[in-house]
Structure 1
């Protein structure tokens, strides 16, 4: 049995979702007397450093993921960028090998970082994408991802195993030989009974240039919205900026506590349909409207699936106009599963139990 309690937690820097959904895991590790060491790059690492200023952090190579300006070029851009990504993964593997040799880690938790694992230490991969949707190449991209997942000791899926669930075919396989654990939806936020202050909350995230493109569009659109708006731009910067723009209170970013309050004080939410956002909104039981990132198959699938289930309406980025928010009234909104994860049991893996 290992005496070490140090665990490397490494989320992918792709938007903010991977980092934010690691927050409840890091909190649970601290509650169970583990010592998390944070490892990522860019805004994902900055976000975790702001949340956990007392924890040690390590910078990993940047995957250099950028989205195409046009949705239809999404796959082509990803293919073009893949050599940069493979180079970063190979560098990352070397860093992890060296770290495991030099330090006494009792476990590794990687949220979608493909090179963060070790044969010498129990290594966990967190993903809701057992199937990676990529249009006509879905079978191939899913197979590749599943081969990578097999290199890890366990794969934790932030969803429930049975229906109803949040991830649909993304997080559920018809037949699998993977060592899977469904750990329930992950969210750093909690529902609170607070008076409604804002008629609309706009929250952005995701890689550039699409984040900025949607921001510019929505700043134009909210001019025609009657009601009070809180607008969170999803730009992690050294210090928080806050200004008033017409009927909007605008912030560049918010940390968990302030964000939780803003969500709970808002009547409805306008955002991307990223899986972390879906989990947050389910936990908070909020009504929402989704604009998926153009060309991102996974977000388009989630948005269509939730619209079909009469939970959340959606529109494409090009076709969205603010008057469409009226449709939210006819949808049920997302709701939470009464699921509580036994983290002590989950973490036994790291103690050789």
Structure 2
């Protein structure tokens, strides 16, 4: 079997979760995936695929500001640190290619995870990077990084009638782009509704904790059944109750899938992986973008324009706004995530 390194970025859990159907498709098509990441992204993959070999890669050690308005400037100030981390990644992967006899690499937004010795694929939905006044510069830098890979896979539909809007289309010239359709680890099934609201907490600190605290505070006033999934991977699953609110530290694939399908309305960040999951499960969603994260704001605006889902900025969120979420049309019924994953072609590794 050909051995393929699969390496998602450790920025929240979104990059890791959307790699789960990719790993599954590799296994189904006779490849041997090797998992590589750091932090909670690696822990999630290890929990989902305990039998696979896993490697810890150097961390980017990105620090996030508490003030969302300063996020772009904060990340820009850490650009040299990110570049050095990518160089460490590249050197580490160069050794792994020889030591593990790798036949290919799939990197989800890890800039240094590629090799000139084996075919390397980069996964991203951000062909165009929104970064405020630095958008043009950020996009050019990203294109230069993508050009080091043999192919770039975009988990979206081709054209403007897509999920990511202007982020994933049009594609830049001189880069080998493949639109592989949205990917999700979930598959739709019919379930009886149990929860009025499911809140999925995600993303890097400190905004993850700020979001959690705000949701608990708001839903103490709510007359209905609420489940909050905190998105914190720990050794043991913990469950607690606060009046009508049920709080769980984390859920893995099957349990979270069932919780989403049993909920009338999902409240979450407008991260792209979450959006793909909502589409796969045909869920009604209400998004609260991470403050200062331009990508999530643009995604939320795009989906509201299409009448699919509504959103609120975190500082303006009230329970009254939830009626707006229930009045949207929801995601159009498309092919299931598993069907999309089955159509994945790994020909780049067979040449």
Give yes or no for TM over 0.5: yes
Q: Is residue 2:56 matched to residue 1:59?
A: yes
Choose from 259, 264, 268 the match for 2:256: 259
Instruction: Name the SS for the 1:105 alignment partner.
Output: coil
Q: Name the TM-score, length of structure 2 as normaliser.
A: 0.96
Do the aligned partners of 2:164 and 2:302 also contact (CA within 8 Å) in 1? no
Aligned to 1:26: 23
Give the Cα–Cα distance (whole angstroms) in 1 for the partners of residues 240 and 344 of structure 2: 45
Unaligned runs of 5+ in 1: none
Aligned to 1:113: 110
Do the aligned partners of 2:35 and 2:54 also contact (CA within 8 Å) in 1? yes
Aligned counterparts, 1:150-299, within 5 A: 150-173=147-170, 176-299=173-296
Aligned counterparts, 1:109-148, within 5 A: 109-148=106-145
Choose from 318, 331, 335 the match for 2:332: 335
Q: Is residue 2:295 matched to residue 1:305?
A: no
Q: What do the CA deviations read for 1:179-219 (whole angstroms, capped 9, x no partner)?
A: 01100100001111010000110001100000000100110
- CA RMSD, aligned part only? 1.4
- The alpha-carbon distance between structure 1 residues 343 and 181, as it changes in their structure 2 partners (threshold 3 A), is farther
Residue 81 of structure 1 and its aligned partner are, at CA, apart by: 2.3
Q: Is residue 2:74 matched to residue 1:81?
A: no
Give the Cα–Cα distance (whole angstroms) in 2 for the partners of residues 186 and 228 of structure 1: 30
Unaligned runs of 5+ in 2: none
**Which stretches of structure 1, 4 residues or longer, exceed 6 Å deviation after superposition?**
none
Give the Cα–Cα distance (whole angstroms) in 2 for the partners of residues 75 and 87 of structure 1: 19
Q: What do the CA deviations read for 1:15-50 (whole angstroms, capped 9, x no partner)?
A: 100000000000011111111100000000000000
Give the Cα–Cα distance (whole angstroms) in 1 for the partners of residues 273 and 63 of structure 2: 19
Do the aligned partners of 1:65 and 1:207 also contact (CA within 8 Å) in 2? no
- The alpha-carbon distance between structure 1 residues 252 and 264, as it changes in their structure 2 partners (threshold 3 A), is same
Q: Name the TM-score, length of structure 1 as normaliser.
A: 0.96
Give the Cα–Cα distance (whole angstroms) in 1 for the partners of residues 333 and 147 of structure 2: 30
Aligned to 2:8: 11
The aligned length equals 349
Residue 342 of structure 1 and its aligned partner are, at CA, apart by: 6.9
